[in-house]
Structures are given as structure tokens and as C-alpha cells.
Amino acid sequence: MLMKSFRKKYPPNFVIGAVITVVMLLLILMSFFYTPYDITKMDSASKLAAPSFRHLMGCDNFGRDIFSRVLKGMENTFVIAFLTVVIGTAGGVLIGAFTGYFGGWLDEVLMRIIDVVFAFPSILLALVFVSIFGTGRYNVVAALGVAFIPSFARIVRSEFIKYREMDYVKSAQLAGVGRLRIIFVHILPNTFTVLMSSIMIGFNNAVLAEAGMSYLGIGVQPPDASLGSMLSESQTYLFSAPWYAVFPGLMIILLVLGFSLLADGIKA
């Protein structure tokens, strides 16, 4: 009885997504305080060791524990993706809200600029940033954050265009409510559902982009761990130690899969 109503309320996709996401978040949370081994500690005796109870995911070419490094890498990826989405959302909401609400020449000009940035592939923008400011995680965050602004701005703008014509907004205007208050207090909360699902999609894109950039060696720098750079290193030992590639890759997939299942569930 209880099970049945639970199933009706939450579709299986949503439940699976929630379980994966919660487990991943707990692992990430744990990595802030504890990893089984020091992520930079090398042990020549266990170079490329296979997974065992001592080393759950085996060891890399320096004998470092892959499980610990995967945990730390997930933490780095999560933090970078999170900050990226924060910058993208904040910028996107501000631009989208003002252009959508006021329209006019401001809208025209800003939207053309947004179109230009949107036409520019995010990885390319990140490469420009890196070649100018150098490699490193904060440059990646800045670059991806800016690259993510246009998609949020477009969504928020179209929502604001829809709401600004509504009666409740009109009556608020007549009642003399300030513009800023109408924008942020009266309209913005209504865009929350739409915004939420694009935030989750954005988060996934940020995870994939970060992984791609650290794979290319322009994200988080060694000896710090990142899933992308582990994958890049693992390729040399793909034949003798395939697990070195499997686990970091699997973690990226789970991180993204969990979030996209959740996002689908929220939309439905």
C-alpha cells in the first residue's frame, strides 16, 4: 500500500537518480575531510596494483591509491561545476531579467552580445581564457562561467517576457510597486521551476566541460587530482591497468547520470 503510493508519486527514474546523487554527494562530502590514503603519497611497491581490499580501485603508475584520488577529483569537479553554474546563473538571471522586463534598445544590444557569446563554443572560450591567463582551476571557472551565461539569460528572458504582460504584474505596477521589487520579488520566484531544470542541465554540462579541460591538461593541475587528468594519464597504461581508466570515467558518468535523471523527474 505504502509502496504503491510511493511509486505513484516518484517515478523510478527519479528514485534511481536521487539515490545515485545522494551517494555521490556523500562521497564528495567525505572527501573534504577524509580520504583512505594521502592523494599524493607514492608507493613503488604497489605501482598499477589491481583493485583489492587494500586499494578499492587499485593504484596508478606512481602507486597512488586511485580511490582516494577519484574522491578528491570528484570534489574538484563538483566545486568547479558548482561555481561555474553559480556564475552562469547569476549573470544569466540578471541579464535575462532586465532585458526581458524592460525590452527596448537595452534588450537589443545585450541580446546581440549574448548571441555572439552563444555562437562561440564554450570549450573554445575556455581555451582563449587559458592561453591568456594561464592554466588553473579559477581560470576554468571564470571561462566556463562566462560561457554559461547566455543559455541562462535566454531562458530567464523568455520567462520574463511571458510574465511582464500578466495581470498580476500590471496591477502591481499600478499599485506603485518599484520595478526592482516587481522583477525580483514578484516575477523571479515564478521562473524557479524552469530555472531549476536548466541549472541541473547546466551543472552536467559543466561537469563534462571540466572533465574535458582537465583531460587536455588545462584545468586542475597535478599533483592535485582531477578525473579528467587521471583519464589522460591512464591511457598510457590502458592495456596493463584498464581499471585506472574505468573508475574515474565511471564516476563522471554516475555524477552526470544521477543529476540528469533527477532533472527529468523534476520536470515530469
Partner 1 sequence: MKYGLKKFVTMLITILCISFLVYLAFDVIPGDAALAALGTDVEPERLAALREEMGLNRPFLERYFDWLLSFVTGDFGTSYKYNLPVADMIVSKLPVTVIMALISFIIMTAVSLPVGIYTAKHSGGRIDRVITVVNQIMMSVPHFFMGIIITYVFGMVFKLFTPGGFVSYETDIAGFLSYIIFPCIAIALPKIAMSVKLLRGSCVGEAKKDYVRTAYSKGNNTNKVLYRHVLKNAMIPVITLWGMMLADMLVGSIVIEQVFNIPGIGRILLTSISYRDYPVVEAIIVLIAFVVVVTNFCVDIIYGIIDPRINVGAE
List binders of partner 1 among 157-216 (CB under 8 A). 204, 208, 211-212, 215-216
Asked if residue 143 binds partner 1 (CB under 8 A), the reply is no
- CA-nearest of 69, 48, 45 to 59 is 48
Cβ pair 264, 14 in contact under 8 A: yes
Cβ pair 57, 93 in contact under 8 A: no
| CA-based R_g, the chain, Å | 22
> Secondary structure of 166-189 in the HEC alphabet?
CHHHHHHHHCCCCHHHHHHHHHHH
Asked if residue 120 binds partner 1 (CB under 8 A), the reply is yes
Q: Given the rule CB under 8 A, which of 45-53, 66-74, 112-120, 154-162 is the region that contacts partner 1?
A: 112-120
Nearer to partner 1, 169 or 204 (CB): 204
Query: Which three three-digit cell numbers place residue 60?
Result: 596508478
In angstroms, what is the minimal distance from the CB of 50 to partner 1? 16
Asked if residue 124 binds partner 1 (CB under 8 A), the reply is yes
Asked if residue 108 binds partner 1 (CB under 8 A), the reply is no
Burial class (CB in 10 A: 0-12, 13-18, 19+), 126: buried
Burial class (CB in 10 A: 0-12, 13-18, 19+), 268: exposed
Nearer to partner 1, 12 or 223 (CB): 12
Residue 110, strand partner residues: none
Nearer to partner 1, 225 or 231 (CB): 231
In angstroms, what is the minimal distance from the CB of 118 to partner 1? 9
Asked if residue 121 binds partner 1 (CB under 8 A), the reply is yes
User: Site for partner 1 (CB under 8 A): which residue of 30, 235, 266, 267?
Assistant: 235
Asked if residue 79 binds partner 1 (CB under 8 A), the reply is no
Cβ pair 148, 88 in contact under 8 A: yes
Type of residue at 142? A
Nearer to partner 1, 10 or 184 (CB): 10
Q: Given the rule CB under 8 A, which of 41-49, 52-60, 148-156, 256-264 is the region that contacts partner 1?
A: 256-264
Cα 122 to its chain centre, rounded Å, is 13
Nearer to partner 1, 177 or 246 (CB): 246
Asked if residue 23 binds partner 1 (CB under 8 A), the reply is no
In angstroms, what is the minimal distance from the CB of 4 to partner 1? 21
User: Site for partner 1 (CB under 8 A): which residue of 130, 149, 188, 195?
Assistant: 130
φ/ψ of 136, rounded to 5, equals 130, 155
Cα 252 to its chain centre, rounded Å, is 11
User: Site for partner 1 (CB under 8 A): which residue of 80, 169, 256, 262?
Assistant: 256
- Report the C-alpha gap between 264 and 268 in whole angstroms: 6
Q: Given the rule CB under 8 A, which of 58-66, 101-109, 180-188, 236-244 is the region that contacts partner 1?
A: 236-244
